[in-house]
Structure 1
Amino acid sequence: MTTSFGEDSAASVSTEGRIQEIAPEDRGDPVEFEGVDEHGRHISSDDVEGVMVVNFWYAGCGPCRAEAPLLEDVWSEYAADGVRFIGVNIYDQADTALAFAETYGITYPSVIDADSGQVRQAFAGQTPLNATPSTLVLDSENRVAVRIVGQLPDASILSTLVADTQAQSGT
């Protein structure tokens, strides 16, 4: 099922989100990735059990700044249920990501992927990441269950998508 919220463009920054839910039987292979977060800690997909939300962003992206509080709200709602949120900063270094997190009250980690692009590359075969921001919901098997290309329109939408993915994953 695909629900559209505006038109997505090929631009590198998207202000309108397009949402695609992927049925369990149509999901691709599990995505494996690893990187280092803004605090210097190693993060790996192998460390995550359960549903995971992955948000691709950078500090200079207006839509990324606009959706940051919405992502934090959903993270706060589901953290106790074991849902993991990981940001993937595609352009900035750790100090910029830390300043962004402080400014916008973000408490989940972000992998700093600007130099290596390894995390972005890990997802390249599973979903097009041609717009920033892009948010993915992974099921308990690390398969992409939901794609949100562009700015998240509302926290309640992501909350519902996370709950649906949890129900499908049995978590």
Structure 2
Amino acid sequence: MLSRWTWTILGVLVIVLGGVVKAHMHFIRMALLALLGLVGLYLVHKLAGDYQKITGGGKSLGLWKRSLPDELETMIDRSLHNDHPFNSILAQDPVGCARKMVCTLAARKQSQLNSGEKAILNMIRSNSFVIDDKGHKAFKRAVLLGEKSKNSEICAKAYSMCIYTTSQLGKILNSF
């Protein structure tokens, strides 16, 4: 008796020969293209397996990652739940350049401010921050000084440790 493989091969040959008799060249072309397509899929599968072995699972591309790295996730959480943003700004600006800029913005007329500058002043004027936020109070004092004096020279004297002029600070602010 014939084995299972022999019957399978004979069955495929009967189908192929039947197709050749009926459709002649079109069937042969279609069968060859189908066979080449299957071979191509098999080679792509093998190539992908080899690539994963070489690169250590393909993690270098980040294609199989499902979440953020732990350190980035904690950094994002920390920034989203920061109730004292002005404290961190104040800590990064010990000479008072940011406060000098805010004071100078507040000294100008509203019509002379662009939308970004207005947004900065509105954020500082807002009362939505924690009451004991020392940084927010420092920036509010700078805004009040600018509003009362209406003179950028007084702001420059109040924050004289900042080495930048008000025009340089404006250029820095507008570069963002």
- TM-score with structure 2 setting the length: 0.27
TM-score normalised according to structure 1 size = 0.27
More strand by share: 1
Higher Cα Rg: structure 1 or 2? 2
> Greater relative contact order: 1 or 2 (C-alpha under 8 angstroms, separation 6 or more)?
1
- Compare the two structures and name the one with the higher helix fraction: 2
